[in-house]
Amino acid sequence: MNNPVDITLGREYEGDVGIVAYSDYFCAEPLKFELGGELESFNVRYETYGRLNDDKSNAILVCHALTGDHHAAGVYSLDDRKSGWWNNIIGPNKPLDTNKYFVICSNCIGGCRGTTGPSSINPKTGERYNLSFPAVTLRDMVAVQERLITHLGIKKLAMAIGGSMGGMQCLQWAIDFPDRIGKVCALATTSRQNAQAIAFNEVGRSAIMQDPVWNNGDYKLERVPSVGLGIARMMAHITYLSDKGLEGKFGREQREGQKTPDGKEIFKPSFAIENYLHYQGQSFVNRFDANTYLYFTRALDLFDLRQYGGSLESAFRDMKAKVLVVGFTSDWLFPPAQNREIVKALLRIKKTASYAEIKSDLGHDSFLIHSPKLYKLIEYFLDV
């Protein structure tokens, strides 16, 4: 447990959860996957921040997006220069206030950051699962989170919150476990992947699967399909930003060109945006498994809440959680209309739901970025 009260913090860490460590929950109870397939046992890697109160009613589950992980806040050591991916939201006196709430974030099943996934060793064979790992859906991710919550002794979550794929998990939570969740805060998300989002995922998967190193998923960890995965990330990263955001950050900034450029020179990345994308691709390869990328993007493609009864209304029928959905104006991956649609369906069947839209030039990733408006909204929603 990472309790900020127990850590003596330097001034620069004031308001942060400080030094954190992950935990592992090994579940020996078999897990049946939605589309078939089974794991006899699995591991869930997670982090927690703040203290679980006596009646265990102050737990908030943070659900990560496609390439996120369980390390949502804090640092692993004082030398650690990079804090968790949602450090701006989680901490003492932050919107997810660790003085009041017990915040949990776990790596999704099928992941590559400590929770069992395709790159884990199959205890039966002693080999990595690779493509023998069962197909994962959002429902499977949530089922595993529910196991973790139960393991932690929590009957009912105060709230589940997440953006993008994390938002989908939150909605799935409210559908699958209506009695075990009080509130849902879903950001920059959708009730199903539309054709455009599936299209982008397919380009990413094609880049990976056509990398000869990928070898039908049977690559060695020493030599991963880094070309394919890197390109997949470069492409996907563009969909997380926006024209205006990119223009503002990079514009046409360019290194000095060669005096007599020929084909050998002129195609080398020289624009700032090119170098940025290559850097993004490269650093991603070092922290993410190509097979997990395939499994998770497929889970996203298959996500469609309308599959539960043919309409959103029927999917939401038994839901009890209070819902807040937040869209961002410049998000073109899951545009505001797709966020609105969720709330419209909930209101049509007289549920407790709200929709708010935040003006932002930063595209889909807006939910990850400093936004006092978003903070206030979450704070208000959480405290009522």
- Smallest distance from the beta carbon of 172 to another protein, in angstroms? 22
- Smallest distance from the beta carbon of 319 to another protein, in angstroms? 14
Which helix H or strand E contains 59, and what residues bound it?
strand 59-63
Tokens 């998300």, located at residue? 189
Nearer to another protein, 229 or 382 (CB): 382
SS3 1: coil
4: nearest Cα among 16, 12, 95: 16
SS3 48: strand
Nearer to another protein, 20 or 353 (CB): 353
Known active-site residue 119: no
Measured N-to-C along each axis, helices 226-240 and 272-287 cross at an angle, to the nearest 10 degrees, of 120
Known active-site residue 318: no
- Smallest distance from the beta carbon of 384 to another protein, in angstroms? 4
Which amino acid appears at position 105 of this protein? Answer: C
Binding site for another protein (CB under 8 A): 324, 340, 343-344, 347-348, 350, 352-359, 373, 376-377, 380-381, 383-384
SS3 124: coil
- Smallest distance from the beta carbon of 336 to another protein, in angstroms? 8
> How is residue 255 annotated by DSSP?
P
Count of residues in the chain: 384
96: nearest Cα among 198, 168, 15: 15
- Smallest distance from the beta carbon of 244 to another protein, in angstroms? 19
Known active-site residue 164: yes
Structure tokens at 88: 């701006």
Point out the catalytic residue in the list 97, 331, 365, 366: 331
Rounded CA gap, 141 and 130, in Å? 18
- Smallest distance from the beta carbon of 192 to another protein, in angstroms? 18
Which amino acid appears at position 310 of this protein? Answer: G
Which helix H or strand E contains 240, and what residues bound it?
helix 226-240
Point out the catalytic residue in the list 83, 106, 164, 366: 164
Which amino acid appears at position 239 of this protein? Answer: T
SS3 259: coil
> Under a CB-based contact definition with an 8 Å cutoff, are residues 363 and 164 in contact?
no
Point out the catalytic residue in the list 140, 364, 366, 371: 364
Q: Which burial class, exposed, middle or buried, applies to 133 when counting CB atoms under 10 A from its CB (0-12, 13-18, 19+)?
A: buried
Nearer to another protein, 79 or 383 (CB): 383
Catalytic residue IDs: 164, 331, 364
